[in-house]
Amino acid sequence: MLIPVIYCDHTHGTVESFAISRLLREGKILSFKRASGWVIIGRDRIRKLDHAGQERSRPSASHDWMRNNPHEAIF
């Protein structure tokens, strides 16, 4: 299945679904499209591969920042 992506150089393309994990690990994409809409890396929740190779849900970096800085406002 082909997944629409936006690369770090802001070009658009499509990749096979199995390639998404590799592109995420290598930091080559800014965004990809799910059935529910576009996922923005660093903002939206994405699954992460653990050391055993199984997918795990992981909060985005912004979620981690907000959890660690609850009194800071983001504008």
Contact 61, 42 (CB under 8 A): yes
Cβ contact 60:46 at 8 Å: yes
In a domain, 43, yes or no: yes
More confident residue, 64 or 30: 30
**So what's the pLDDT on residue 61?**
52
In a domain, 31, yes or no: yes
pLDDT for the residue 46: 84
Tens of pLDDT along 27-55? 999 999 999 999 999 999 887 644 444 44
Q: Is residue 52 part of a domain?
A: yes
Would 73 be classed as within a structural domain? no
Residue 63 has φ and ψ, to the nearest 5°, of -65, -45
Contact at 8 Å (CB) between 4 and 33?
yes
Which pLDDT score is estimated for 55? 46
Quote the domain boundaries for residue 32.
2-68
pTM of the model: 0.62
Task: Give a yes or no: residue 75 inside a domain.
Answer: no
When divided into structural domains, the chain yields a total of 1
**Beta-sheet strands, E only, within 1-75:** 2-7, 12-16, 29-34, 37-40, 46-49, 55-58
Q: What is the pLDDT of residue 54?
A: 45
**Domain annotation covers residue 74:** no
Q: How many residues does the chain have?
A: 75
Is residue 13 in a domain? Answer: yes
